[in-house]
Amino acid sequence: MINLTHLNGETFFLNAEYIESVESKPDTLITTFNGKKYLVKESCDEVIKRVIEYRRKIMAPDVLTLPKEGD
């Protein structure tokens, strides 16, 4: 999930996996697979950056939890 801000300043989390499109109209409009639309304060570039960060985080192995050799 990514943290975003409604135009009224309230923050919310959106499941990044459900995002179908991100447009600038001039506010940023996010459309999800089910057709729901969200207007957010973040720019298109910022939304895309957060989605990429989210995906890197869930796809990267967590090396801190891997057992050490000999354990």
| Average of per-residue pLDDT values in the chain | 90
Burial class (CB in 10 A: 0-12, 13-18, 19+), 2: buried
Provide the 8-state DSSP code for 7. Answer: T
Query: For residue 67, what are the CA distances in angstroms to 26, 46, 62, 63, 70?
Result: 49, 36, 11, 9, 8
Q: What is the architecture of the domain spanning 2-59? A: Beta Barrel (2.40)
Per-residue pLDDT, 61: 61
pTM of the model: 0.80
Residue ranges of the domains in the chain? 2-59
Backbone torsions φ then ψ of 54, nearest 5 degrees: -60, -45
The band of 68, judged by pLDDT with boundaries at 50, 70 and 90, is low
Per-residue pLDDT, 35: 96
Helix (H) or strand (E) holding 58: helix 44-59
